[in-house]
Amino acid sequence: MLPVRSLAVALGLLAATCALPAGAASVQTERIQVQPTEEAVETQKIPAEDLAPQEPFAEPGTAASGAYGAQPVHLPEVFYGDADLPKAVARTRAQLLEAAHAGDLERLRMVLEGNEMMPTLTFGEMTDPIEYLKSASGDPEGLEILAILTELLETGYVHADKGTAQEMYIWPYFARMPLARLSNEQKVEMYRIVTSGDLAEMETTGAWTFYRVGIGPDGTLHYFVAGD
C-alpha cells in the first residue's frame, strides 16, 4: 500500500495528464428531441392522441363544447305582401283574400275546388268543405273562419323547403318560427291571430298548432288547417 503522500502525488500527475490544453474551446452540446414514429407508437404503446395537436379546451355549455342547444338557430326569412311571390302563388292568395273579405263561403268554395285535389282542411273526415268550415267556426255562418283566413294571409310568410318536393309558401310565418325566439314586436303581430292562452298551450309543445295556409310554387292550395 502506498503512503498517503505518495497516493496524493500519483493522483495529481494523473489529473495533469488528462487536463485540456490551454486555450482549448469547450464542446457545446444540444439536446435533440426526436418525434416518435408510427412504429414507435406501436411498439412503445404511445397513445396516438398524444401525437395529435390538441384543441383548446371548450367550456361546458358553449357552442364549441357541442352541448345540446349550443348550435346557432338559423331563423327563416320573413316576407310580407305579394311582391316576392311567384305569380301563381300571388293569384291564389288574392283569390282567397277576396272571398274571405267578401264573407262569401261559396266564392271560397270555387277557390278550394279549383285545385286538382281538395286541400287539407281537417285531419279528420270531411264530406263538404264549406259545411265543415261552418262547423269549425265560432258562428253558424262560418264568418269567423273567413276572418282568421284574412288575418293569416295578411301577416308575414316564409318560403320553406326550397328546391324540394315539399317546397311551400306558408302563412303565418309563426308556423315555422321557434316560438321561444319571437321578439316582442312579433308577439304583438301574433296576438292579432291567437290569444295569450293559445300561445301558452303551443309553447308547451314548442310548435304552432293554430290555423296555417300552405300554397305550392305552382299556386296549388295544399292546406288551410289547424292542429298537428
pLDDT tens readout for residues 117-138? 899 999 999 999 999 999 999 9
Task: List Cβ neighbours of 167 (8 Å cut-off, separation of 6 or more).
Answer: 159, 160, 161, 216, 217
pTM of the model: 0.68
Q: What is the pLDDT of residue 74?
A: 79
| CA nearest neighbour of 51 among 36, 40, 33 | 36
pLDDT band at 72 (very low <50, low <70, confident <90, very high): low
CA dihedral 8, 13, 14, 18 (to 10 degrees): 140
Beta-strand relationship, 158-160 and 168-171: antiparallel
Residue 193 CA to residue 202 CA, distance in Å, equals: 13
Q: Is the pLDDT of residue 195 over 90?
A: yes
Q: Is the pLDDT of residue 158 over 50?
A: yes
pLDDT digits (tens, 9 = 90+) for 90-112: 999 999 999 999 999 999 999 99
Residue 178 CA to residue 71 CA, distance in Å, equals: 14
The residues facing 168 across adjacent strands are 160
Per-residue CA distances from 193 to 77, 123, 148, 156, 197 (Å): 20, 21, 7, 12, 12
Residue 71 CA to residue 224 CA, distance in Å, equals: 33
Q: What is the pLDDT of residue 206?
A: 83
Q: Report the alpha-carbon angle 153-161-119, nearest 5.
A: 50
Q: Which three cell numbers stand for residue 93?
A: 292568395
Q: Which three cell numbers stand for residue 215?
A: 300554397
Residue 177 CA to residue 210 CA, distance in Å, equals: 13
Q: Which three cell numbers stand for residue 197?
A: 292562452
pLDDT digits (tens, 9 = 90+) for 159-170: 999 999 999 999
Residue 94 or 73, more confident: 94
Angle between helices 105-112 and 87-102 (to 10 degrees): 160
Quick count: other Cβ atoms within 10 Å of Cβ 107? 15
Task: List Cβ neighbours of 6 (8 Å cut-off, separation of 6 or more).
Answer: none
Q: Is the pLDDT of residue 58 over 70?
A: no
Q: What is the pLDDT of residue 134?
A: 96
Q: What is the pLDDT of residue 119?
A: 95
Q: What is the pLDDT of residue 116?
A: 82
Query: Is the separation of the CB atoms in 132 and 112 below 8 Å?
Result: no
Q: What is the pLDDT of residue 73?
A: 62
Quick count: other Cβ atoms within 10 Å of Cβ 77? 10
Q: What is the pLDDT of residue 66?
A: 35
pLDDT digits (tens, 9 = 90+) for 16-42: 444 444 444 444 544 545 455 554 444
Three-state secondary structure call for residue 215:
strand
To the nearest whole percent, how much of the chain has pLDDT over 70?
A: 68
Q: Is the pLDDT of residue 213 over 70?
A: yes
